[in-house]
């Protein structure tokens, strides 16, 4: 089963589970969802009406945790730990995995120093073990560990839930890309048209040259033929002509 299908099945499972519950009994469901080793998308669970209703109640902290796992990072949790429920080890691991995905959204070369700071990792060996065992083996990222340059080169990273306002930015980016692509296409078409025109001119020029060569060949052939057909005096004729002049 591929990761997308697994994600879809897990999302459907937790959405149905959350939809059937209300209030405090939703807390264990949110903990289970945010610590599940194969679930990395939470926006659909956030949209469940009973989950939304947690806002403003004594259980709102778990709604904030779910939002954190949808859009936040390990650093965000540390900065707001006093306002949030304490995370269990599996949640800590999951949030650090999600942090790597967030970093990979904007940079395809992640320095080890930055990763160690963002993930609270103390040495390179621990960092590389985390990237290999908890990220690459999990299928959420692919890349190359460069020990010489002390960086992780990202080749693929799974996408996270869209943050509020991020959809508009993505649409603008796609719109700009489309405009650039259209301008590039016009430029390519103009160059193709210019190349076709130059090709036709080249063909015409080549034909003119070939025609001139044929004309020169014909002219040379006529001159040669004319020269060969002119009467020439033989030695006998020359002798007779000389005698006639003497007489």
Q: Can you give the pLDDT at residue 196?
A: 85
In a structure prediction context, what are the per-residue pLDDT tens digits for the chain, which is 247 residues long? 577 788 899 999 999 999 999 999 999 999 999 999 999 999 999 999 999 999 999 999 999 999 999 999 999 999 999 999 999 999 999 999 999 999 999 899 999 999 999 999 999 999 999 999 999 999 999 999 999 999 999 999 999 998 776 556 656 667 777 878 888 888 898 889 888 888 888 888 888 888 888 888 778 777 777 766 655 545 555 555 454 544 5
Q: Write down the pTM of the prediction.
A: 0.70
Instruction: List the beta strands (DSSP E) in 22-140.
Output: 109-111
Give the integer Cα–Cα distance in Å for 179 and 196: 26
DSSP state of 103: H
Q: Which helix (H) or strand (E) holds 145?
A: strand 141-146
For residue 15, which of 1, 2, 3, 32 has the smallest C-alpha distance? 32
Contact 89/135 with Cβ under 8 angstroms? no
Q: Can you give the pLDDT at residue 232?
A: 52
Contact 157/174 with Cβ under 8 angstroms? no
Residue 175: helix, strand or coil by DSSP? helix
Q: Can you give the pLDDT at residue 151?
A: 97
Give the integer Cα–Cα distance in Å for 31 and 231: 119
Q: Can you give the pLDDT at residue 184?
A: 84
């Amino acid at each position: 089963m591929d990761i997308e299908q697994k994600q879809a099945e897990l999302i459907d499972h937790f959405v149905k589970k959350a939809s059937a519950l209300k209030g405090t009994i939703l807390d264990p469901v949110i903990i289970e969802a945010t610590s599940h080793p194969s679930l990395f998308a939470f926006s659909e669970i956030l949209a469940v009406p009973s989950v939304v209703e947690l806002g403003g109640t004594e259980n709102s902290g778990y709604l904030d945790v779910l939002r954190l796992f949808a859009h936040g990072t390990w650093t965000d949790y540390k900065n707001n730990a006093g306002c949030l429920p304490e995370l269990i080890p599996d949640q800590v691991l999951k949030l650090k995995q999600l942090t790597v995905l967030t970093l990979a959204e904007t940079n395809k070369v992640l320095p080890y120093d930055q990763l160690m700071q963002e993930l609270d990792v103390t040495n390179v060996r621990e960092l590389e073990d985390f990237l290999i065992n908890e990220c690459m083996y999990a299928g959420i990222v692919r890349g190359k560990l460069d020990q010489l340059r002390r960086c992780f080169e990202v080749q693929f990273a799974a996408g996270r839930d869209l943050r509020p306002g991020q959809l508009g930015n993505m649409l603008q980016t796609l719109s700009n890309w489309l405009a650039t692509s259209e301008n590039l296409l016009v430029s390519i078409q103009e160059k193709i048209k210019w190349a076709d025109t130059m090709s036709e001119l080249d063909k015409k020029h080549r034909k003119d040259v070939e025609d001139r060569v044929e004309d020169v060949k014909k002219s040379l052939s006529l001159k040669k033929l004319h020269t060969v057909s002119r009467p020439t005096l033989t030695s006998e004729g020359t002798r007779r002509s000389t005698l006639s002049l003497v007489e």
